[in-house]
């Protein structure tokens, strides 16, 4: 069997002002949480860390790595989604 190739434009991340949305969400989330506990300087530092982590996570999400792990490795997949799962040979194609 041959692997199915998908169009690359479907995997492009969502961008806002040419910055990844995951990076923006990560920076704001980390910054606000640390701002509540430490202060402004710490918030900027952890916002930069959150910017990097958010970008990495969204990139893996757009590639489908996280989505595939969530979908195929659910702990209760036998009882929740077993009727909707494709056959095992189709899983390997994805």
> Is pLDDT at 67 greater than 60 in this prediction?
yes
Mean pLDDT, residues 48-76: 82
pLDDT at 19: 83
pLDDT at 44: 93
> Is pLDDT at 36 greater than 90 in this prediction?
yes
pTM to 2 decimals? 0.65
| Average pLDDT of the chain, as a whole number | 77
List phi, psi (to 5°) of 15.
-125, 145
Specify the range with the lowest mean pLDDT, choosing from 76-80, 85-89, 90-94.
90-94
């Amino acid at each position: 069997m041959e692997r199915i190739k998908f169009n690359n434009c479907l995997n492009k991340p969502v961008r806002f002002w040419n910055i990844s949305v995951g990076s923006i969400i990560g920076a704001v989330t980390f910054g606000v949480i640390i701002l509540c506990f430490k202060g402004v300087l710490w918030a900027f530092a952890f916002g930069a860390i959150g910017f990097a982590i958010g970008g990495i996570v969204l990139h893996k999400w757009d590639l489908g790595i996280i989505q595939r792990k969530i979908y195929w490795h659910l702990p209760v997949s036998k009882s929740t989604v077993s009727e909707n799962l494709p056959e095992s040979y189709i899983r390997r194609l994805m």
